[in-house]
Amino acid sequence: MHRQIAGRLTGRVTKWVVLVAVLVLAGGMSSLSAKLADVQNNEASSWLPESAESTMVAEELSSTIDPNDIPTLVVYHRDGGLTNADFAAMEEQAGEIGRIDGVTDAGVLTPATRQAAVDQGAKLPPVVSDDGEVAYLYLVFNFGKDGWNKIPDAATEIRNLSEIDGIDVHLAGFGGQAADAAEVFEGVDGALLLATGLVVIVILLFTYRSPVLWILPILSAAVAYNIAGGVIYLLAKYADLTVNGQSQAIMSILVIGAGTDYALLLVARYREELRRHEDRHEAMAFALHRAAPAILASAATVVVGLLGLVFADLNSTAGLGPVLAVAVGVTVLVMVTFLPALLVICGRWLFWPVRPTYGSPEPTQTGLWARVGRRIVPRPRVVWVGTAVVLAVACLGLFKIDTGGLPTDESYTKEFDSIVGQRVLVDHGLQDTSNTAQVVFATDREDDVLGALGDVDGLGELGDVTEIGDGRSYVEATIGQDISSQAAYDVVVDTRDAVHAVDGAGAEVGGGSAFYLDTKDAANRDNKVIIPIVLLVVFLILIGLLRSLLAPLLLMGTVVLSFGAALGLSALVFDYVLPHLYDQWPSSAVVDPGFPLFAFVFLVALGVDYNIFLMTRVREETAGHGTRRGTLIALSSTGGVITSAGLVLAATFLVLGTIPFVFLAQLGVAVALGVLLDTMIVRSVLVTALNLDLGAKIWWPSKLDPDDLPLTVGDLDHDSQSEVTLDKSVPV
């Protein structure tokens, strides 16, 4: 039945129907895919759940403080001290900046005007340093919900307006950080696609050793990306699917990486069948019939694993899962329809100069992985135990990872303007007044709340109390620390402890640092909830695919071990290697709180892929050759293509390191290391050794291999006998 469906997809007429249909669909979706950035939602409010305290504060203040307000500082610095002429120029610029579309509340305080305001009872923070070298202008950006897209242009305009001879000017505060963050992802989609495409082309040229065959997988991946982008655009526009710059960047990598993986597996099986069938249509029908179940099961594992993210508290993480799941789903459909049609239409000449002619020998049976399998045969238990111990030792590096979160000045791999501005403020004893704690409380408990706030260390002078209606009021105070630093989090925690202790106040604390702290707490919760869910779902998929309990359990154990080893090795790379490759890097193996979850979902979903490709082939060969011999056949047949697929996926994720964002660079390194461990060690050595040691027991409780025959010398070819000394009278 499956072969009949596969044959219809690549028949002499239907191959053209499939080709035209997919190209028409891709053409229609390309214009929508190009507009995907227009429906991105990068607002802070879109990241946290409604239950977060900072979210509830923002909701209460929505009628008083616009949630789209972005406090910003223009920092001026002159060595030797600012002059009266400098202050006059700053005041003039404040007026010009205030007229920029989207800028509100622009103003600068000179020492004289500030003193006059203080004399009149105003509560103002210092805006000129004691040494007189630094001053800042305070302003607020508000572009509505489109702030992420518009703030870079406004930031550029402000920087151009703020030029004064002899003065260094920096855009800092929340707005400066937002502008730099937008710059990080500006144009990243096209750059990532180009870099990823070039890397994949090089690997495909090396793998296929054909000057033309690589074009078809790349073309298919491009078609898949256009269709996926169009579908996601429609879902974001009409079904409230959350898309942000981060999810779009990862999507482009995943489509090309996973798509090329599926293409490699299909092409390898097609090439194998071309040696067995004279008619290429028949060869593709058999190839699809035998490879598609593994490819579809692999994609289903990735999709279900990604959909597990919908259980996240963080809206940004919950939204990422469906975005990537849709992308992978579209990609696999393109790779099992469009790519087979292209391959059959083009014919055998695509494989030139090594065309797989009918009746020619299969080279994989005497290749590298065939020899690796035979090396494991004499002592499989020693091999798998030793490999497991080595991976377990690598897991010790996990103790170096600190999930406390990255402060702003360590979040990027190069020094951005907002970071320099922040450092100038700190070095000259000024506080970043754009970072505040917003405290909402019952009006009738004002005195008690203000008294509690006055005892909080690290909290700046309190502003004026403002009534917001319904018997509620709010007050703000500056947190003189970097917005995403542990020091700022400590101030928020102390502030919350202090006001929560006031009976009947119903006090809540929000603001920038509170938002980042709530994000960190939600990420830690997601790690504990989603990781077990993903493990359970993937385990159930493997049970259904392999119709066994023991094999899926062992496979999940190997993947988790590989995940731990990948993170352990990554911690060492973060600490000792990457600081030498980037202009700026965290001082130790500090990661974003969400890093373990992202790395886990990608590594488990993608790591299981390679085991699925191997074990489905083992199951297929077991029927005719037994488990142990079937394992050697499966390893030799799939080893080369799975290794190539792993190299492609690792290389594509490493491309994330070209984005000057520490989180994505760390994620790329961790996933790349994990994928390489899976393909080179876990799948080829550990899983193979387990199969050879356990034999038919691996399929328990099914009776797939009732004879459970041991390997004999007759099962091995001449090359294997020359590599190991065997007694021909006994089983191997």
Taking only the tens place, the pLDDT of each residue in 43-64 is 555 566 667 888 888 888 877 7
Confidence of residue 116 (pLDDT cuts 50, 70, 90): low
pLDDT of residue 688: 92
Cβ within 8 Å of residue 638, ≥6 positions away: 265, 268, 369, 613, 614, 617
- Range in 190-194, 424-428, 483-487 the model is least confident about: 190-194
Provide the percentage of residues in the chain whose pLDDT is more than 90. 14
Read off the pLDDT of residues 288-327 as tens digits, 9 standing for 90 and up: 888 888 888 888 888 888 888 888 887 777 878 888 899 9
- Mean pLDDT, range 237-251, rounded to an integer: 75
**Alpha helices (runs of H) in 146-244, residue ranges in sequence order:** 147-161, 173-185, 188-208, 215-238
Distance in angstroms (rounded) separating the CA atoms of residues 533 and 543:
16
Coil, strand or helix at 554: helix
pLDDT at position 191 over 90: no
**Alpha helices (runs of H) in 308-428, residue ranges in sequence order:** 315-335, 338-346, 368-376, 380-394, 417-427
pLDDT of residue 47: 63
Distance in angstroms (rounded) separating the CA atoms of residues 447 and 505:
10
Q: At what angle do helices 84-98 and 147-161 cross, to 10 degrees?
A: 150
Distance in angstroms (rounded) separating the CA atoms of residues 475 and 454:
12
- Smallest CA-to-CA distance from 136 within 102, 167, 177 is with 167
- Mean pLDDT, range 83-104, rounded to an integer: 81
Confidence of residue 387 (pLDDT cuts 50, 70, 90): very high
Helix (H) or strand (E) holding 429, with range, is none
Distance in angstroms (rounded) separating the CA atoms of residues 677 and 667:
15
pLDDT at position 242 over 60: yes
pLDDT at position 29 over 60: yes
Read off the pLDDT of residues 329-380 as tens digits, 9 standing for 90 and up: 999 999 989 999 998 988 888 888 777 777 777 666 667 788 888 889 888 9
Residue matched to tokens 């305290």: 53
pLDDT at position 165 over 80: yes
Q: Which of 114-118, 271-275, 655-659 is most confident?
A: 271-275
What is the architecture, at CATH level 2, of domain 69-185? 2-Layer Sandwich (3.30)
Distance in angstroms (rounded) separating the CA atoms of residues 614 and 545:
12
Beta strands in 445-498 (DSSP E): 459-462, 466-469, 472-479
Read off the pLDDT of residues 455-497 as tens digits, 9 standing for 90 and up: 888 888 788 888 888 899 989 888 878 788 888 899 999 999 9
Output the CATH code of domain 1-43+188-362. Answer: 1.20.1640.10
Sketch the domain layout of the chain as residue ranges: 1-43+188-362, 69-185, 378-405+523-725
**Contact, 691 vs 620, CB < 8 A?**
no
Cβ within 8 Å of residue 274, ≥6 positions away: 280, 283, 348, 356, 357, 358
Long-range contacts of 198-204 (CB under 8 A, 24+ apart): 199/651, 199/652, 199/654, 199/655, 200/256, 200/257, 200/260, 200/648, 200/651, 200/652, 203/644, 203/647, 203/648, 203/651, 204/260, 204/648
pLDDT of residue 728: 37
pLDDT at position 112 over 80: no
Q: Are the folds of 1-43+188-362 and 378-405+523-725 the same? A: yes
Read off the pLDDT of residues 570-595 as tens digits, 9 standing for 90 and up: 999 988 888 887 877 877 778 888 88
- Token readout for 137 is 């202008």
Read off the pLDDT of residues 617-630 as tens digits, 9 standing for 90 and up: 898 888 888 899 88
Distance in angstroms (rounded) separating the CA atoms of residues 474 and 164:
38
pLDDT at position 275 over 80: yes
pLDDT of residue 365: 63
pLDDT of residue 295: 86
378-405+523-725 under CATH 3.20.20.10, yes or no: no
Other C-beta atoms lying within 10 Å of the C-beta of residue 107:
14
**Contact, 701 vs 549, CB < 8 A?**
yes
Distance in angstroms (rounded) separating the CA atoms of residues 45 and 31:
29
- Mean pLDDT, range 77-87, rounded to an integer: 87
**Contact, 656 vs 253, CB < 8 A?**
yes
